[in-house]
Amino acid sequence: MRRDRLGLAARVAANVGALLPLGVLLFVVAADRLSANPIEDVTRRLGTDALLMLTLSLAVTPAVALITRTNPYVGRLSRVTPRGEAAVPTPDRSPAPGPSRRVAAAIWPLRRTFGLFAFLYAALHLFVFTVVDYGSRPSLLADAVAKKPYALAGLTTFILLIPLAVTSTATWQRRLGRAWERLHMLVYPAAGLVVLHFLWAAKVVTTNRLIWAASLAGLLLVRLPLWLLAARSAGWRQRRREN
């Protein structure tokens, strides 16, 4: 029961916190407190919000690894809980105590929560750019994609995020099985393209943008030793079964 309350509290806090930037943006728009270039301001705000949500989503796995002191990629399968959420990893001989496991189980489903909000903000970001700013004119949009690398990187990122959002449900997880895990590896090239999009879109690359890019790149790089250790463990287990 306590675990359910902790998980519920985490989900409520995550959803409220993820909606907060949208609420702030709507207030700023309604109060006419945007900059001298309101369309550019709204586009930038939505893009930053999408980046924040993607960063939070990618931060969950390292956080679980730190809390439980285990490797989430060892023996990981696309298991689904009765609520339709990916089950928290349970590697063999986990040294994590009960409370740590409960905290990890509470925050593990937030990968999906923040990932879906990242898609929502990215979709709004793209809508303002294509419809509000460019008026849905194909010739102007094609010219922008062809001549502006950041536009091409952003569009490619959004295309990569579409199948991740569509297949984020428990039904798709069960239907795809292990292929679901491979499909959702697309989040990593998408994150890399987001970094490029974020840096290329700036007229001047500020320290703030570099910090954002470094944070996202760090969350990708921290997975490398986890993947290598998981691959080594899988090879050892395979050899043990063969012997």
| Residues 88-145 pLDDT 10s | 554 444 444 567 888 888 999 999 999 999 999 999 999 999 999 999 999 999 999 9
Task: Give residue-wise pLDDT tens across range 216-226.
Answer: 999 998 888 88
Long-range contacts of residues 188-193, Cβ cutoff 8 Å, at least 24 apart: 188/220, 188/223, 189/160, 190/54, 190/157, 190/160, 190/161, 190/164, 191/54, 191/58, 191/216, 191/219, 191/220, 192/217, 192/220, 193/153, 193/154, 193/156, 193/157, 193/160
Cβ neighbours of residue 222 under 8 Å, at least 6 residues apart?
62
Looking at residue 95, what is its pLDDT? Answer: 45
Looking at residue 241, what is its pLDDT? Answer: 60
pLDDT tops 70 at residue 59:
yes
110-127 helix and 149-166 helix, angle to the nearest 10 degrees:
140
Q: Cα(193)–Cα(117) distance, rounded to whole angstroms? A: 18
pLDDT band, residue 82 (cuts 50/70/90): very low
Looking at residue 97, what is its pLDDT? Answer: 52
pLDDT band, residue 24 (cuts 50/70/90): very high
pTM for this model (two decimals): 0.85
If you average pLDDT over residues 33-46, what whole number do you get?
A: 94
> In whole angstroms, how far apart are CA 125 and each of 109, 122, 142, 170, 206?
25, 5, 17, 27, 21
Structure tokens at 10: 């985490």
